[in-house]
Amino acid sequence: MIAVVLDTNTLVAGLGWSGPPAVIVEAVLVDLLLVSSPQLLRELEGVLAYPKLTRVFPDPAGITSRLRAVGELVQPVSTLAVVTDEPDNQVLEAAVEARVEAVVTGDAGLLTLGRYDGIPIMSAHSSCSGGQPPTDDPKSGVLCEPFLSVRDGRTSGCGRRWWTGGGSTAKSAGPDLPVVGRGDR
């Protein structure tokens, strides 16, 4: 199973809206392993509680609890000072501690690094590069690929296909995803 750290900005965008971050969040809930840390989940819960986001995320603690249940929690032993933003360093700390295959973020400071300690750092868009063929190599940067599916009797572009290091089996994300505020749009 491919292990990834999703930055808070990717999780917020993916849990609340459609687009490439939503594809990665759905992939994490189906075939990829979400890796996080207590620090990252605290940051996420705080961001989800922002007044401008409470309509979309009425239960921040419930969301972080569900993510904790589906992912792997690590307690980093090293403190890094690679970038100026402390929460971004915490993303790298969790990634290094778990030796994940990728970090997915929308943060320009992390994206500028491109790679840290051998771990690729990529945007949600580049990690879901729809036009590229599937691969068994997690270092390729292609973690999932959009495809059309039928959900609730309707054809929708919201279905996704993921490939893991174990082969090219395709799975479709089900409607029981622990996300709020997002529907087929």
CATH of the domain at 84: 3.40.50.1010
List the structure tokens of 135: 């691969």
Q: How far is 150 from 7, CA to CA, in rounded Å?
A: 30
61 is a domain residue: yes
* Maximal C-alpha separation, the chain: 50
- pLDDT tens for each residue of 4-44: 999 999 999 999 988 888 888 888 877 788 999 999 999 99
Burial class (CB in 10 A: 0-12, 13-18, 19+), 112: exposed
Contact 85, 100 (CB under 8 A): no
93-121 mean pLDDT? 93
- The Cα 93–Cα 99 span in angstroms is 10
**Is 184 within the bounds of a domain?**
no
Query: Whole-angstrom Cα distance, residue 49 to residue 100?
Result: 28
* Count of structural domains within the chain: 1
Give the Cα separation of 29 and 95 in Å (integer). Answer: 18
In a domain, 107, yes or no: yes
Strands 102-104 and 3-6 turn out to be parallel
Question: What letter represents residue 72's amino acid?
Answer: E
N-term to C-term CA, the chain: 30
- Give CA–CA dist 149/160, Å, rounded: 8
Express each pLDDT in 127-177 by its tens digit. Answer: 775 434 334 454 444 455 432 222 333 322 333 333 333 332 333 333 333
For the segment 66-87, the average pLDDT, to the nearest whole number, is 91
Is residue 77 assigned to a domain?
A: yes
Structural domain boundaries, residue 14:
3-133
